[in-house]
Amino acid sequence: MAHYKSFENLQVYKEAVLFCDEIWKVIINTSLSKDYKLREQINGSSGSIMDNIAEGFGRGGNKEFIMVLSYARGLLL
C-alpha cells in the first residue's frame, strides 16, 4: 500500500466526499427535504462513510484499516 500522510489524500475518501455531496443534492431536491427524520438518517449514513475511512486511517495498521473500510462499504449496501 502506498504511504499517505493524511486520509484526505486517499482516493476512496475523495469519492466518499463526492458521494455525500450527491446524496445531499438528492435530499434537498426531492420530497426527502420535508421528512426531517429520514433526511437526517440518510445524510448521517452517508457522512459515516467518511468517518469510518478517517477512523481506520488513524488506527495505523493495515489490518484494522481494511476492517474499517469494510464497515464503510457496508453502509453503501
pLDDT of 20 > 80? The answer is yes
User: What does the block give as the cell for 40?
Assistant: 437526517
Mean pLDDT of 38-50: 91
2 part of a folded domain: no
Does the pLDDT value for residue 34 go beyond 90?
Answer: yes
Could you tell me the pTM of the whole model?
0.76
- Residue 72 grid coordinates: 464503510
Whether 27 shows a pLDDT value over 70: the answer reads: yes
Note down the domain range covering 58: 10-76
**51-63 tens-digit pLDDT:** 888 888 887 777 8
In a domain, 5, yes or no: no
pLDDT at 9: 92
Q: What is the DSSP string of 4-57?
A: -S-GGGSHHHHHHHHHHHHHHHHHHTSGGGG-HHHHHHHHHHHHHHHHHHHHHH
Query: In the predicted model, is pLDDT for residue 72 greater than 80?
Result: no
Domain presence at residue 26: yes
How many domains does the structure of the chain reveal?
1
